[in-house]
Each structure stands twice: as structure tokens, then as C-alpha cells.
Amino acid sequence: MSTDPADHLSDLRRIRDEALEHRFGDALVDAYHRGSISMAWQDIVDAEKGDPLPLLDTFRVEVLGVSKVPSRLAGLISAGVQRATTQMDGALLRPQSSALRPSREDLIDTLVIQEGAAGNTLIFRAPAAVLGHGAFDIGAHPSRAGRALQELMNVLPENREDIGSFVRGIGRAPVLERQAVQTISRVALESPFGLGLNFESPRTSVRSNFDRQSAEQVDDYLRDRSVKPSTEQHSGILDGFRGTRRVFYLITDDGREIAGSVDDGLLPTVRRLAGTRVMAHLAVTQWAARSGQLGPKHYDLLKLEPEPEPPALFSE
């Protein structure tokens, strides 16, 4: 009769959990306490033959418009997720590289495991990083695959409203990052209505609704385009973020609405000046086709300055 390792370790796991809940009241002491327990537990687990790699980050791909994922599409998605992860990892490690030449170690370190499927959703996991013998461990650490997936999700548009600023940003991104995005966009084009992507980890949760229309715009932009950069200044009322990720809205003096991307360093300034009159300094990007046709303008916030209200035409 075989014994389930989970049953074999259940009593020890309960003792471990109780010990991890104990607090000494000092942050450093608590950290060492948890670290020593984690290392001891890992030694016990390593002694159990055949245990799988610890899984940390979860990546869910929802196929919009279907109740169950066809086997062919499931294979395309699985291959696409793995390729995009390796491409993004290459962009993070070698931003200047224009060709993906992963080594055997790269492929191992960026492995993404398809754990299963539930209805119209495929579930992938990125293993936690494996630390060398004797390394001091406090909690689980993301692997290169986990970091690459999280960065890919940070790059992808949150929804259709984000597409304009996203397209502007991706035009300046490293080549391998653009390739990773195009890999996902082409997979999304294989599904009836696109993909809903969700990345979850102990650190964060990021979602992207990558429908077919968004995927078509992105794939078309990344095919064969050059970029025409310029700068502009506009005065108006800063309308904040409206719930979208890293996208600001400006109502100009002539009544137009400008939406553009915001770097992390400017997020506090946008929040502080939301609802007030500002002068916005913007980087403007347009794609140019070989025919010379220009695409829509995409804006990137460079600087925000408070601006006083214009004087009234008639004073009392």
C-alpha cells in the first residue's frame, strides 16, 4: 500500500503553519524566524522523492466567446504563452538584442507549466525560483518566467481604452518586447472574440482584456511601420485617470479630449493636479506607413505644470 506524501507530512505541516503564525514583535526577528522555518521545511520536502517544483505565479487565459477551448486553440495558446514569456525575458535581460537566441538554461528558467483548464480558461503556473544550497530564503521568490509574465502584463493594454497610449509606448520598446506583444496579439486573433488575460502572484494582480479589435490594431501597428515623433503643449483641465491603468485624460481649452500614457514617476503629480487647470507637455508619436499615410496621434506625458485660470472677460 502506497502512502500519499501529503498525508505523510500532514502533522508536520500543521506544526509548521502554527510556528509561522507566531510573532515575536520585532520585524527582523520575525523575518529570521520565518526564514529558518522555511529552510527547514524545504529540506524535509526535498527528502521526499518525486515532489514537483513549487509553483508561485498563476497566469489565466480566458478565451472570450466560447464555453470550452478547442484543442487546436489550446495548443496555440500554450505555445504562444511560452514563446512570449521567453521573448519578454530576453527583452529584460538583453534590451538591445533584436534576435531571440535562448540557451538551454534560458528555456529552463522561463518554463511555464500548463496546469489545467476550466471551461473556457487555460491555467498556467510559473515555478518559484530555485535557490542554491545554503541560500537564505524568506518566503517564495518569483522565477524569471514569473517576472517576464508580470512585465508582459504590465505592458499589455488593460482594455480597449488603453490601446492608443499602449501603441505609442510599444513603438519605443525593445525589439524582443514588441515581439512578445505581437505573439500574444496573434494568438488573440485565433480566438473568436479575443482573450482575457489575468496574472496573479503573492505580490500583485494584473488583468488585460485583449479583444480581437485591440489585437488587430496592435498586430497591424507592429507589422511594417516607422514612427514619427514630435512634441506638443496643451492647456486644459486634467481629468485624471478614470480607472484605467497609467492613462491620463486632458480636456483642452478648445473642448478636445486627449488621452495619453503616464510613466510611474509622474503618477503622483497627475493624482495631485487632477481636476485643476494645467499645462501639459506631451511627446507625440504617429506611425507612418510606406505610402506616407499617418496613423492617429498617441501621447506620452512628459511634464505637468499648474496653470492659473484664464481671466474673466468682464470684471465686476
pLDDT tens figures, 285-301:
776 755 566 667 778 88
Q: Which amino acid is at 16?
A: R
> Residue 141's pLDDT is what?
52
Superfamily of domain 226-306: NigD-like N-terminal OB domain (2.40.50.500)
- Per-chain mean pLDDT for the chain: 77
Kindly state the percentage of the chain with pLDDT values over 90: 25
- Which of these, 267, 266, 247, lies nearest to 258 by C-alpha position? 247
Residue 6 has pLDDT above 60, yes or no: no
Residue 32 has pLDDT above 90, yes or no: no
Give the CA angle between residues 137, 140, 144 to the nearest 5°. Answer: 105
Domain residue extents for the chain: 55-223, 226-306
Residue 245 has pLDDT above 80, yes or no: no
Label residue 5 by pLDDT band (50, 70, 90). very low
Q: Report the alpha-carbon distance of residue 166 to residue 96 in Å, rounded.
A: 21
Pick from 108-117, 133-142, 191-200, 212-221: least confident: 133-142
Q: Report the alpha-carbon distance of residue 131 to residue 144 in Å, rounded.
A: 12
Tally Cβ neighbours within 10 Å of residue 113.
16
Label residue 1 by pLDDT band (50, 70, 90). very low
Residue 123 has pLDDT above 50, yes or no: yes
Instruction: Give the pTM.
Output: 0.56
C-alpha grid cell, residue 130: 530555485
